[in-house]
Each structure stands twice: as C-alpha cells, then as structure tokens.
C-alpha cells in the first residue's frame, strides 16, 4: 500500500465526519475488501444466471442443438443464421416488429404526455388517481394478453358488444382471427399497459420545469400551445429521449401480450422477433432460438450504445 499512501498525505483530522474521508488512503485497503464483499453476491448471481447462459447461447447458436436429440449437437457454422434469414416468415416478422414498436410507442407517448400534463397541477384526489391508473403495472403481460383476448373474443367479447351498441359495427368482428385486425388488437392491449410508464416519467420531468419560467412566459402573453412547444418540451427533451429509447427496447422485447392473445397468428401476422424465438424454443430447437437470440442481442447492443451515450450526455448537461 506504499504507493497508495504516498499519493496524498493523510488528513490530520481524527474525526471521520469530513465529506472527503472516504478517500483517505489509510482506509483504501479496507474499503477494497468492503466493496468486494458487498458486491460479490450480486455479481456472482448476475454473472452466473444471466451472462453465462448468454455465452453458452452464443455457442449453441452455431450448433445443431435440438432438445429431442441431445446425443449429437454438431458444430454447423452459420447454418442456423442462414435458416432464419431464408425463412419466408422472416420478412413478415421484421415488418410486424416495426409495426408493433411504432404502433405501440407513439400512442403511449402521446397519451402519456397528455396524462402527465393533466396531472401536473395538484388536485384533491391526485394521489388516489395515480394509484388507480397505476394498476395495469401490477398485472403480468401474459394476463393482460388474456384479459384482452377475452374482451376481443369474436362471439362473447365486450369490444364487439360495445361497438355494436354504439352502432359502429353491424356484425361481430373476429378480431384475433383477422390478419390485419389481430395486430390492432394486440397493440391496443399494449397501449393500455404502457401509457402509465410514460405518464410517470414525463410527470417527474415536468416537475423539474421551473414554475417562474412558465409564469414569465405567460406574462409575455404566450398561449398554452406555444408554452408547450417553446418551453416545456425543450426543457424536458432529454428525459423524453431517454424514456423513448428505453421504451423502444422494452416494447421490442415484450412478447407476453402477443403470446397470450394470438400466439403469433393468424398466419404469422402478429409474430414479432421475440415471439418467433419463443416459438423455436418451444419446438425444442435451441440452436435456431439461440441464433435468433444472438441477432437480437447484437441489435440491442448497438441500440444500448446509443442509450448510454444519451445518458452520458444528459449527465453532462
């Protein structure tokens, strides 16, 4: 520890109350042990059960690895990747994934923003209101899928019943059996689930907009719309960007609702990348599933790089 102790002369203060006390070299070695001991369980768990399986998966992706025949799992190079890319379903899956992400994200953002603006000023039951609109978050994606599968049921579904009552439709619509409408139905379920997250994030950001700024602008005669676009949105733009990036990743990675509502059907028209991958897993074809998983990880890593860069930039400003 000589190198460390010559770095800076030990502070003469005997008490540890000074804010810089943790950097005193005499305590360096003991801190190293504390850090290690406190971090070790977390690192062991995450490394062993999250990162190690991913590495194993990277190996599986290059093998003919089928659960039903584990006697031989030969190395087959890029064959699994070739199989995926040449699968006629692949272009549909990519198109569906984009539709799913964009179709869910934009309404979530707009409704979430509106909700946050409406919640910005305090009112008597705001706490209760927030707790109530927070409920979808307690429900698993799978069960949300089941809830909406039941509501979009062609025969006894409440959606058809309500639309019929209002006079919008004459005959029941087979939502989940229709190749186009099935995607609409799963996206509606996802919007219902995701608005709250946006609302919470944006509301927290809105509360960082200085009240004086808004008052000054309104004294200068700025209208509500002008205020929104010239003051509020520019001030919280970084939070908006981070939340949107995070949500894109989460929605992309969120197969539960689709899995429960349609299982990817009809005719693969609601299959997104992750439901397709789960399909391969359920068929026992871990080689194909891992290859697809590896592609997803690669795509996500590029995306995460952007996200982390954005965070760093946000930290600096």
Query: Of residues 70-109, which lie at the interface with another protein (CB under 8 A)?
Result: none
Q: What whole-number distance in Å separates Cα of residue 8 and Cα of residue 23?
A: 9
Q: What whole-number distance in Å separates Cα of residue 155 and Cα of residue 144?
A: 19
Scan for tokens 């992400």, then name that residue.
101
Binding to another protein in span 133-172, by CB under 8 A: 133-144, 146-148, 150-151, 153, 155-156, 158, 161
Q: Does 68 bind another protein (CB under 8 A)?
A: no
- Calculate the alpha carbon distances from 132 to 198, 257, 282 in Å: 15, 21, 36
Binding to another protein in span 104-133, by CB under 8 A: 111, 114-115, 118-119, 121-133
Q: Does 27 bind another protein (CB under 8 A)?
A: no
Q: Does 313 bind another protein (CB under 8 A)?
A: no
Binding to another protein in span 276-295, by CB under 8 A: 277-278, 281, 286, 289-290, 293
Q: The tokens of 157 are what? A: 């579904």
- Give 96 or 196: the residue with its C-beta nearer to another protein: 196
Binding to another protein in span 249-278, by CB under 8 A: 249, 253, 255-256, 259-260, 274, 277-278
Choice from 60, 173, 185, 187 touching another protein (CB under 8 A): 60
Q: What whole-number distance in Å separates Cα of residue 101 and Cα of residue 247?
A: 9
Choice from 8, 10, 13, 52 touching another protein (CB under 8 A): 52
Binding to another protein in span 204-223, by CB under 8 A: 204, 207-208
- Give 143 or 213: the residue with its C-beta nearer to another protein: 143
Choice from 3, 6, 9, 50 touching another protein (CB under 8 A): 50
Contact 28, 49 (CB under 8 A): no
Longest dimension (CA), the chain: 86
Smallest distance, another protein to C-beta of residue 309, A:
12
Q: Which of 188, 224, 207 is nearest to 116 (CA)?
A: 207
Half-sphere exposure of 82 (CA within 13 A, CB side): 7
Q: The tokens of 271 are what? A: 């299959």
Smallest distance, another protein to C-beta of residue 191, A:
10
- Residues with Cβ within 8 Å of 303's Cβ and at least 6 positions away in sequence, in order, are 245, 248, 249
Count of residues touching another protein (by CB under 8 A)? 108
Q: Is 66 helix (H, G, I), strand (E, B) or coil?
A: strand
Quick one: which segment of 79-87, 101-109, 214-222, 243-251 binds another protein (CB under 8 A)?
243-251
- Give 88 or 317: the residue with its C-beta nearer to another protein: 317
Q: What whole-number distance in Å separates Cα of residue 227 and Cα of residue 221?
A: 10
């Amino acid at each position: 520890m000589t190198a460390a102790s010559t770095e800076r002369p030990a502070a003469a203060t005997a008490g540890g109350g000074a804010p810089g006390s943790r950097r005193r070299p005499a305590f360096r070695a003991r801190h190293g042990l504390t850090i290690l001991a406190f971090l070790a369980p977390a690192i062991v768990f995450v490394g062993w059960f999250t990162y190690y399986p991913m590495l194993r998966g990277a190996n599986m992706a290059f093998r003919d690895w089928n659960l039903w025949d584990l006697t031989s799992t030969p190395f087959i190079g890029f064959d699994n990747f070739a199989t995926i890319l040449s699968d006629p379903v692949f272009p549909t899956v990519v198109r569906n994934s984009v539709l799913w992400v964009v179709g869910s994200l934009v309404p979530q953002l707009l409704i979430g923003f509106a909700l946050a603006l409406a919640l910005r000023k305090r009112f008597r039951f705001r706490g209760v209101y927030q707790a109530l609109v927070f409920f979808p978050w307690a429900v698993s994606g799978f069960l949300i899928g089941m809830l909406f599968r039941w509501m979009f049921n062609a025969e006894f579904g409440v959606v058809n019943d309500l639309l019929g009552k209002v006079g919008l439709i004459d005959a029941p619509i087979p939502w989940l059996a229709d190749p186009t409408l099935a995607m609409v139905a799963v996206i509606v379920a996802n919007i219902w689930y995701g608005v709250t997250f946006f609302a919470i994030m944006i509301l927290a950001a809105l509360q960082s907009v200085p009240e004086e700024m808004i008052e000054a602008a309104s004294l200068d005669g700025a209208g509500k719309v002008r205020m929104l676009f010239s003051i509020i949105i520019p001030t919280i733009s970084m939070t908006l960007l981070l939340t949107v990036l995070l949500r894109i990743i989460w929605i992309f990675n969120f197969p539960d609702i689709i899995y429960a509502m349609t299982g990817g059907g009809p005719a693969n028209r609601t299959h997104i990348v992750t439901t397709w991958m789960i399909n391969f897993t359920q068929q026992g074809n871990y080689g194909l599933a891992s290859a697809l998983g590896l592609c997803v990880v690669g795509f996500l890593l590029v995306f995460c790089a952007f996200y982390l860069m954005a965070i760093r930039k946000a930290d600096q400003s």
